[in-house]
Structure 1
């Protein structure tokens, strides 16, 4: 299978967007325990990646954060790798 950088970018955007939803939705939309459980599961799945793939995702996240106009979402994207356990320090 040939590598597609656009595929990685779009999939990563989807994962971050859904994780953001779980982070910011209020309890009338989704209870906090379920939201946290989904965020933890996303982190678990991402941590199944190899070290090289984690580094690649971390670099891609930095690029996404740099191009994000919304300050709150930019901060979320910039610290996503750390929050998910993919990096040892926040971006």
Structure 2
């Protein structure tokens, strides 16, 4: 598997789409408590990734945001790492 494996951006895009949909759907589509639990679960799993893989994911998300034509989705892609806590390690490193 190479560093430019297309699977990583594809899966990252799907993950972002699912979370974006959960945030935007109405209460009649998905129970709000269930949506929050799913999003917290996603964030928790991503935080369990080794730091090099989290960094790779953040890079992929930045690449996806840069290529995104839809301004709303681009903004969501740009905010996703912070929203799920992927930038917390960077903050901790800066404080040390």
Q: TM-score, normalised by structure 2?
A: 0.85
Report the counterpart of residue 40 of structure 1 in structure 2. Answer: 40
Structure 2 spans left out of the alignment, 5+ residues: 91-96
State the Cα RMSD in Å.
Answer: 1.4
Deviating beyond 4 angstroms after TM superposition, the runs of 4 or more aligned structure 1 residues are none
Report the counterpart of residue 80 of structure 1 in structure 2. Answer: 80
Report the counterpart of residue 9 of structure 2 in structure 1. Answer: 9
Greater relative contact order (CA < 8 Å, ≥ 6 in sequence): 2
> Is the helix fraction higher in 1 or 2?
2
Structure 1 spans left out of the alignment, 5+ residues: none
SS at match of 2:6: helix
